[in-house]
Amino acid sequence: MKYLHRHTPDDIRSVPYGFTYKEMVEVIGESEARSLYSSLYKHSPKKEYLTMSLKTVYKDGNTEKYVFELLDGKCIEMVFIKRQDGGTVCVSTQVGCSVGCIFCESGRNGFVRNLTPSEIVQQVILLRRKVNRIVFMGMGEPLFNYSNFIKAIHILRDRNGLNFPTDGITVSTVGPVEQLKKLREEHLKIQLTISLHATTQATRNRIIPNMHRYDINDVVNEALSHAKRHNRKVVFAYLFLQGINDKPSDVRQLARWFRGKNVMLNLLEYNPTSNTQIKKPAKQEMTSFKQQLERAGLEVTMRISHGRNIKAACGQLANKYNEKNK
């Protein structure tokens, strides 16, 4: 409640996508809030309420990549994957990223800035498509923009607005431990995916360099505790990198952590980026690794990547436009 007093009616009217219905009512009263919320969420978005614009769209089969330009000239990318009845939207939470995963373009130029709740929400609004799943897997590490990310979820699920079902929302994170602890205590039934990608600290430090201050065992234990607390399966994403994280000792450690737990391991295929040090593994090696994991008693899926031709697959969202803007 304490932050409510800082907002004025002008704040609400100038960035209306950044507020929950309740916040609006507190500042501008119920009647104006109701009519504003209805124009924001029940009709096509009006220009005067938007703080970003669609710059370009790329299409590749059932995948579309949207590039949005923000008020300060920075750009972000968002991906939509069309399914039979609606689709999945993969939204960004930051311009750039500070984590620096070696397999990802988003962090190549480092962190630029956090997105505001309004900029996160507008990605879904500007899409103007039927969405049945929202995944926070675009540019940026959502938990490093914690309060804006959580606020955006509250706005998206607001009953008076989009009323998006919370269990249709997934957050994918490299797992900063303090934020995982906070997330566990939120009353939000969102799906948690941890980008693990390694079984030893040394390998993880190599793949996800800027997470070295977090002990890999702490990351795993926090995520398992989240699964327990919410009685919900946690997904651990594991990017298969031949010769780096596919040893028999990796299988043994994954089994030690996850056998018998409410966990699914999602084996991901590497999507080519500008890092030429990483070679694309052969399908058969990946399948054999999956079989070893299954024999060790783990539940494993292998994800098919969409949108490689338009650089919209995982790890390929980049700061191309921002480089030009610098």
Quote the least distance from Cβ 246 to ligand SF4, whole Å.
19
Q: Are 254 and 300 in contact (CB under 8 A)?
A: no
Angstrom distance (rounded) from CA 144 to CA 221: 19
Query: Of the residues 77, 119, 141, 222, which is catalytic?
Result: 77
Least distance between ligand SF4 and beta carbon 106 (Å): 4
Q: For residues 289 and 283, is the Cβ–Cβ distance under 8 A?
A: no
Q: Which is nearer to ligand SF4, 101 or 192 (CB)?
A: 101
**CA distances from residue 98 to 14, 107, 143, 211, 231 in whole angstroms, order as listed:** 29, 6, 12, 10, 31
Is there a catalytic annotation at residue 77?
yes
Residues written for the chain = 326
Q: Indicate the residue among 100 and 272 with the shorter CB distance to ligand SF4.
A: 100
Of 99 and 312, nearer to ligand SF4 (C-beta) is 99
Q: How far is CA 158 from CA 40, 154, 163, in A?
A: 12, 6, 5
Closer CB to ligand SF4, 269 or 299, in the complex = 269
Structure tokens belonging to residue 185? 């205590």
From the CB of 26, what's the least distance to ligand SF4, in Å? 35
Between vectors from CA 78 to CA 269 and to CA 241, what angle results, nearest 5°? 15
Tell me if residue 30 is catalytic: no
- Residue whose C-alpha is closest to residue 126's, from 183, 59, 77: 77
> Considering the complex, what minimum distance in angstroms separates the CB of residue 104 from ligand SF4?
3
Binding site for ligand SF4 (CB under 6 A): 97, 99-101, 104, 106-107, 139-141, 174, 315
Q: Could you give the residue numbers annotated as active site?
A: 77, 314
